[in-house]
């Protein structure tokens, strides 16, 4: 295509107003042509570069701007890389804009998008092309209708070379876009259509004239028929009457020879499509290849005949609709007007409403008919049920709909206009959970709850109970649906830390123990507070488990309709998937930030009759999929989605018919097959038992959030000594146990610790009891003269010997409890006495420091006795 003028444009587009921009062909490489409807689209600028034609456009009615890049990539890999780099530079300048990059890229994104029955070396051009798509955040919509878009003439090779690549802003503006591949006819490329709820007016009526000169036997029929007609009269009359009679005969002949040519062409195209699709999955036989060539030849002949008839039928209609190969494009581009409307139908699943108790969400397409119908339904509901709909609390929310239309519709419904995001059942709908603003309502809720509690009037035991039972439960509902960003987790934990250590939102107290240590389980040396990041993962993992065991639920059927199933599981959806679904897919596939493949490694398929277990991809042999253990065999297998029951029935032993390969196996591959068969020798299917998924940590009960959380936090456990296990006593108040927990870690505000943290000057470290020594934890509770006399009184009271000298509080605790030996009850009593002693010493120290009151050692002993006998 060296030149393109208005006449050629009209022959392609039609008689309606249009504009065009083109780039001439170079050598054997074709040119580029972009056409648009000038009554719908204003083109501000066009630019022609090597292999690409840029158009900056705007919809006249809505004012929405967008950019289209029409691409015809070269075949040379080096030239393609230069093209990807130049496109990337331009796309960077268009960040935040609505951009569509489309055309023939002469490259595939994945290896599976290219197939050849001849084998041989495979090009690696998919690697830089996939990187180009990923780096520029372009969205590759799934192809509907076909797997491949280019077919070699002999049917031996096929690839997906053509596609539409859209920016995120384009998809947000027109979220229901889809690209569909149509039947290719004689062309080696399938035409692609990018639509957004396109209205389909159905097939057009076919009109034909009496022009059959290209049909074999036409000349002979006319000659014989003309000679057989006998009319008497003068010459002019004879000619007129014979023309009238032969016209009627030609109509009958037309019904016999040329009637419904478009239908016959469509039938042949359908058969060619069936052969194409079969060739995509398997190599065609010789008979099928012969049929393939015969069908192609028939389509070619009938298409030329139909084009000739169409041209002689009407020049004006020809200019309007064009030839047979471009009929679909012309009718769509010239006659149909695009309406960007949100569709409620995804695949085969239609969701019209969601309802829980008295909270109802109604979904529909923008139209005044739907507004009137909705009003009528609600009024009828009130009349029939006797209940009332509170229109003052109801709201109308639009997606890509002008505020003026929404305002009028809301006025007709007597409700308010809502905006995205909005709350439904306590969750934000339409928000971005990656943004901190999405989580602000939850943070406000936690702050409001904390504002009613005065942490300085609560003991550490009371704070811990409120922290574990109330505060960490507030975000559970939201965390069970969305992955919280690190910033949100840090903000929530910051509020928890301030509350636990007695601070508030505006002031913060010293955090004596690291928060990660507090979040360890009691068995691991912590206080058992939940780690929100791991807890969030465990909650989301529940959805991954439900994907395996709850496939009849509405939520799963919606996901199936949107993303489809491949290899027995939902596709990940790529960048077109929702944020919620992408995060679940990462956890399912072992790509999560925490724990890696923790979910995948703990899920195993227990086989019954094998009918619901995929042989290669499900983890049914030792918990590892055979496609991972024998990856080479999986690549060579002809059928990758076969079930265990199907393989077993066909015979998977040596010489069995279950093994079908794309080529003959080599020697080392035969050895691998033998190893695989040895794995299967001992397996016997249970005819009356169902296949089921099993969660390894809890094989009998299945997945639980508690078990998953324990699994995710098991790597942070620490080794404990005997003293750590002694601080938790059923008769000791929780605040005393927490005090002892801090004491054994030397995390009490003794004067030495306060000097170390810079709270007190270096000269203010003397013991409160007046002995003149530095007030360390060991000195205060063990070696101080006043406290040592108290320990003597305690040992005399309970009748135990002197504890051996030690410099560690932990060792003193253990020796004191084990010093008397005896029964378990005796050791429990001594454990209680030691905890009571340190608690009484600490309270006496604080009384002397803050109130100036002093008690003698024998008074302190009485307090210990009272404490131990409560």
Residue with tokens 């801090």: 742
User: Is 434 domain-assigned?
Assistant: no
Kind of pairing, strands 143-144 and 41-49? unpaired
Average pLDDT over residues 45-57: 90
More confident residue, 233 or 79: 79
- In this prediction, residue 27 carries a pLDDT of 65
Residue 618 tokens read as: 């499900």
861 with 790: CB under 8 angstroms?
yes
Place 162 in a pLDDT band, splitting at 50, 70 and 90: very high
Give the Cα separation of 205 and 774 in Å (integer).
Answer: 103
Domain identity same for 295 and 372: no
Q: Which of 791, 811, 814 is nearest to 802 (CA)?
A: 791
pLDDT (tens digit per residue) in 407-450: 888 888 888 998 888 887 778 888 888 888 888 888 888 888 88
Q: Which of 663, 674, 606, 617 is nearest to 637 (CA)?
A: 663
- In this prediction, residue 38 carries a pLDDT of 87
817 with 827: CB under 8 angstroms?
yes
173 with 340: CB under 8 angstroms?
yes
Residue 362 tokens read as: 């109604």
Q: Which helix (H) or strand (E) holds 486?
A: helix 486-500
Position 342 pLDDT exceeds 50: no
Domain identity same for 549 and 692: yes
DSSP state for residue 436 in the 8-state scheme: G
Domain identity same for 350 and 325: no
317 with 269: CB under 8 angstroms?
no
Domain identity same for 706 and 816: no
Average pLDDT over residues 217-223: 80
Average pLDDT over residues 128-152: 87
User: Is 432 domain-assigned?
Assistant: no
- In this prediction, residue 327 carries a pLDDT of 43
Residue 275 tokens read as: 């052969």
Domain identity same for 797 and 851: yes
Round the average pLDDT of the chain to a whole number and report it: 81
pLDDT (tens digit per residue) in 233-245: 666 667 777 887 8
- In this prediction, residue 12 carries a pLDDT of 73
**Strand boundaries in 464-568, DSSP class E:** 565-566
Percent of the chain having pLDDT more than 90?
12
- In this prediction, residue 325 carries a pLDDT of 42
- In this prediction, residue 290 carries a pLDDT of 81
Residue with tokens 């020879």: 257
688 with 650: CB under 8 angstroms?
no
Spell out a b/e string for 519-530, using b for 16 or more CB atoms within 10 Å of the CB, else e.
bbbeebbbbebb
Average pLDDT over residues 697-702: 88
177 with 338: CB under 8 angstroms?
no
DSSP state for residue 526 in the 8-state scheme: S
Give the Cα separation of 247 and 80 in Å (integer).
Answer: 59
| CA distances (Å), origin 123, targets 107, 120, 224, 281, 536 | 9, 10, 61, 20, 43
Phi and psi torsions of 75, nearest 5°: -85, -25
Contacts of residue 37, Cβ cutoff 8 Å, sequence gap at least 6? 16, 17, 18, 333, 334
Q: What separation, in Å, do the N-terminal and C-terminal C-alpha atoms of the chain show?
A: 100
| CA distances (Å), origin 189, targets 77, 146, 152, 161 | 21, 12, 9, 9
DSSP state for residue 582 in the 8-state scheme: H
- In this prediction, residue 344 carries a pLDDT of 32
DSSP SS3 for 174: coil
Report if pTM > 0.85.
no
Count CB atoms within 10 A of the CB of residue 358: 8
Residue with tokens 């005065």: 454
Phi and psi torsions of 95, nearest 5°: -60, 135
For helices 261-281 and 286-313, what crossing angle results, to 10°?
Answer: 150
Domain identity same for 709 and 726: no
Place 322 in a pLDDT band, splitting at 50, 70 and 90: very low
Phi and psi torsions of 666, nearest 5°: -80, 175
Domain identity same for 304 and 399: no
Give the Cα separation of 530 and 515 in Å (integer).
Answer: 10
Please give the radius of gyration of the chain, using alpha carbons only, rounded to the nearest integer: 40
Give the Cα separation of 573 and 555 in Å (integer).
Answer: 16
Average pLDDT over residues 701-728: 82
Q: Which of 131, 73, 76, 78 is nearest to 101 (CA)?
A: 73
**Strand boundaries in 185-324, DSSP class E:** 192-196
pLDDT (tens digit per residue) in 6-31: 677 677 776 677 888 888 877 666 78
Place 455 in a pLDDT band, splitting at 50, 70 and 90: low
Contacts of residue 408, Cβ cutoff 8 Å, sequence gap at least 6? none
- In this prediction, residue 822 carries a pLDDT of 67
Give the Cα separation of 596 and 621 in Å (integer).
Answer: 22
Contacts of residue 799, Cβ cutoff 8 Å, sequence gap at least 6? 820
Domain boundary among 372, 403, 419: 419
Domain identity same for 820 and 735: yes
Residue 721 tokens read as: 């000594």
| Chain centroid to CA 614 | 23
Residue 61 tokens read as: 């009615």
Give the Cα separation of 859 and 173 in Å (integer).
Answer: 79
Place 68 in a pLDDT band, splitting at 50, 70 and 90: very high
Place 313 in a pLDDT band, splitting at 50, 70 and 90: low
Domain identity same for 732 and 841: yes
Count CB atoms within 10 A of the CB of residue 288: 15
Lowest average pLDDT, out of 255-264, 454-463, 781-790, goes to 255-264
Domain identity same for 185 and 226: no
Q: Which of 531, 401, 372 is nearest to 62 (CA)?
A: 401
Contacts of residue 258, Cβ cutoff 8 Å, sequence gap at least 6? 208, 212, 215, 305, 309
C-alpha atoms less than 13 angstroms from C-alpha of 485 in its C-beta half-sphere: 12
Q: Which helix (H) or strand (E) holds 416?
A: strand 416-418
DSSP SS3 for 705: helix
| CA distances (Å), origin 18, targets 33, 340, 412, 685 | 13, 21, 39, 67
- In this prediction, residue 751 carries a pLDDT of 92
Residue 155 tokens read as: 């049917």
The CATH number of the domain holding residue 117 is: 3.60.10.10
Place 361 in a pLDDT band, splitting at 50, 70 and 90: confident
User: Is 462 domain-assigned?
Assistant: no
Greatest alpha-carbon pair distance for the chain in Å reads: 154
- In this prediction, residue 748 carries a pLDDT of 92
- Across 124-138, 253-267, 311-325, the highest mean pLDDT is recorded for 124-138
785 with 769: CB under 8 angstroms?
yes
Domain identity same for 285 and 383: no
pLDDT (tens digit per residue) in 527-553: 989 999 999 999 999 988 988 888 888
User: Is 499 domain-assigned?
Assistant: no
- In this prediction, residue 717 carries a pLDDT of 60
Burial of 666 (C-beta count, 10 Å sphere; 0-12/13-18/19+): exposed
User: Is 803 domain-assigned?
Assistant: yes
pLDDT (tens digit per residue) in 83-127: 999 999 999 889 888 999 999 999 998 888 888 766 655 667 788
Q: Which of 59, 52, 58, 64 is nearest to 21 (CA)?
A: 52
Domain that holds residue 261: 218-335
Average pLDDT over residues 600-618: 88
Phi and psi torsions of 734, nearest 5°: -60, -35
71 with 101: CB under 8 angstroms?
yes
- In this prediction, residue 63 carries a pLDDT of 85
DSSP SS3 for 213: coil
Position 404 pLDDT exceeds 60: yes
Domain identity same for 750 and 838: yes
3-state per-residue secondary structure call for 127-153: HHHHHHHHHCCCEECCEECCCCCEECC
850 with 838: CB under 8 angstroms?
no
Domain boundary among 696, 713, 730: 713
Average pLDDT over residues 671-676: 89
User: Is 402 domain-assigned?
Assistant: yes
Residue with tokens 């799934």: 142
Average pLDDT over residues 516-523: 88
Lowest average pLDDT, out of 355-359, 521-525, 611-615, 789-793, goes to 355-359
Domain boundary among 395, 419, 443: 419
Position 350 pLDDT exceeds 50: yes
C-alpha atoms less than 13 angstroms from C-alpha of 669 in its C-beta half-sphere: 14
User: Is 190 domain-assigned?
Assistant: yes
User: Is 170 domain-assigned?
Assistant: yes
User: For the chain, how many structural domains are there in total?
Assistant: 5
DSSP per position, 623-668 = TB-HHHHTHHHHHHBS-SS-BHHHHHHH--STT-TT--BSS---HH
| CA distances (Å), origin 517, targets 476, 497, 586 | 22, 12, 28
Place 341 in a pLDDT band, splitting at 50, 70 and 90: very low
């Amino acid at each position: 295509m060296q030149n393109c003028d208005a006449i050629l444009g009209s022959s392609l587009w039609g008689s309606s107003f249009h504009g065009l921009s083109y780039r001439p062909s170079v050598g054997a490489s074709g040119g580029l042509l972009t056409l648009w409807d000038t009554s719908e689209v204003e083109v501000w600028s066009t630019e022609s570069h090597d292999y690409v034609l840029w158009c900056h456009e705007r919809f006249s009615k809505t004012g929405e701007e967008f950019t289209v890049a029409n691409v015809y990539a070269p075949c040379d890999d080096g030239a393609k890389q230069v093209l990807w780099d130049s496109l990337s530079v331009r796309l960077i300048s268009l960040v935040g804009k609505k951009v569509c990059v489309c055309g023939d890229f002469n490259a595939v994104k994945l290896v599976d998008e290219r197939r050849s029955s001849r084998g041989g070396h495979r090009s690696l051009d998919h690697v830089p092309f996939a990187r180009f798509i990923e780096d520029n955040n372009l969205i590759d919509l799934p192809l509907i209708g076909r797997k491949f878009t280019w077919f070699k003439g002999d049917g031996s090779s096929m690839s997906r070379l053509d596609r539409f690549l859209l920016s995120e802003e384009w998809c947000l503006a027109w979220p229901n876009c889809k690209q569909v591949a149509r039947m290719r006819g004689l062309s080696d490329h399938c035409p692609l259509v990018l639509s957004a709820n396109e209205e389909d007016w159905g097939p057009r009526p076919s009109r034909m004239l009496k022009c059959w000169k290209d049909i074999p036997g036409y000349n002979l029929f006319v000659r014989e028929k003309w000679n057989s007609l006998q009319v008497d009269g003068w010459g002019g009359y004879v000619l007129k009457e014979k023309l009238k009679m032969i016209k009627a005969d030609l109509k009958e002949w037309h019904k016999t020879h040329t009637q419904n040519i478009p239908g016959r062409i469509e039938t042949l195209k359908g058969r060619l499509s069936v052969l194409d699709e079969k060739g995509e999955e398997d190599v065609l036989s010789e008979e099928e290849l012969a049929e393939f060539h015969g069908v192609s030849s028939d389509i070619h002949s009938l298409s030329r005949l139909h084009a000739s008839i169409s041209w002689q039928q009407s020049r004006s209609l020809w200019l309007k609709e064009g030839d047979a190969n471009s009929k679909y494009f012309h009718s769509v581009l010239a006659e149909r007007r695009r309406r960007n409307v949100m569709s409620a139908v995804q695949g085969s699943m239609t969701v019209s409403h969601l309802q829980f108790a008295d909270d109802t969400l109604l979904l529909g397409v923008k139209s005044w008919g739907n507004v009137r119908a909705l009003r009528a339904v609600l009024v009828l509901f009130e009349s029939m049920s006797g209940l009332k709909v509170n229109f003052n609390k109801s709201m109308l929310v639009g997606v890509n709909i002008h505020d003026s239309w929404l305002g009028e519709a809301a006025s007709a419904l007597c409700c308010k206009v809502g905006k995205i995001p909005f709350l439904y059942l306590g969750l934000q709908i339409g928000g971005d959970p990656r943004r901190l603003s999405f989580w602000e309502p939850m943070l406000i809720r936690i702050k409001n709850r904390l504002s009613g509690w005065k942490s300085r009037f609560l003991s550490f035991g009371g704070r811990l109970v409120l922290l574990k039972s109330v505060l960490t439960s507030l975000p559970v509902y939201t965390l069970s649906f969305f992955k919280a960003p690190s910033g949100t987790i840090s903000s929530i934990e910051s509020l928890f830390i301030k509350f636990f250590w007695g601070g508030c939102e505006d002031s913060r107290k010293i955090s004596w123990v690291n928060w990660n240590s507090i979040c360890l389980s009691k068995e691991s040396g912590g206080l058992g507070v939940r780690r929100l990041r791991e807890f969030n993962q465990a909650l989301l993992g529940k959805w991954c488990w439900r994907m395996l065991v709850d496939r009849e639920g509405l939520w799963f059927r919606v996901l199936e309709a949107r993303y489809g199933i491949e290899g027995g599981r939902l596709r990940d959806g790529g960048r077109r998937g929702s944020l919620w679904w992408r995060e679940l897919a990462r956890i399912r596939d072992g790509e999560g930030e925490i724990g890696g493949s923790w979910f995948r490694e703990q899920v195993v398929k227990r086989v019954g009759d094998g009918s619901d277990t995929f042989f290669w991809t499900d983890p049914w042999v030792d918990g590892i999929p055979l496609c991972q253990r024998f990856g080479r065999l999986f690549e060579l297998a002809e059928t990758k989605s076969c079930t265990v029951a199907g393989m077993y029935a066909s015979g998977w032993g040596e010489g069995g018919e279950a093994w079908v390969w794309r080529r003959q196996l080599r020697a080392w591959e035969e050895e691998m097959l033998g190893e695989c068969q040895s794995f299967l020798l001992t397996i016997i299917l249970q005819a009356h038992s169902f296949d089921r998924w099993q969660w390894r940590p809890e094989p009998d009960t299945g997945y639980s959030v508690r078990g998953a959380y324990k699994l995710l936090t098991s790597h942070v456990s620490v080794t404990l000594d005997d003293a750590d296990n002694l601080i938790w006593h059923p008769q000791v108040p929780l605040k005393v146990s927490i005090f002892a927990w801090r004491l054994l870690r030397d995390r009490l505000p003794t004067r030495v610790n306060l000097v170390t943290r810079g709270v007190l000057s270096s000269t203010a470290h003397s013991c409160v009891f007046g002995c003149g020594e530095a007030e360390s934890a060991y000195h205060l509770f063990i070696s101080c003269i006043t406290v040592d006399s108290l320990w003597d009184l305690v040992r005399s009271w309970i009748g135990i010997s002197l504890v051996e000298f030690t410099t560690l509080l932990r060792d003193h605790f253990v020796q004191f409890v084990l010093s008397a030996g005896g029964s378990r009850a005796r050791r429990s009593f001594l454990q209680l006495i030691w905890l009571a002693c340190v608690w009484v010493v600490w309270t006496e120290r604080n009384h002397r420091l803050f109130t100036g009151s002093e008690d003698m050692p024998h008074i302190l002993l009485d307090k210990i006795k009272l404490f131990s006998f409560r």
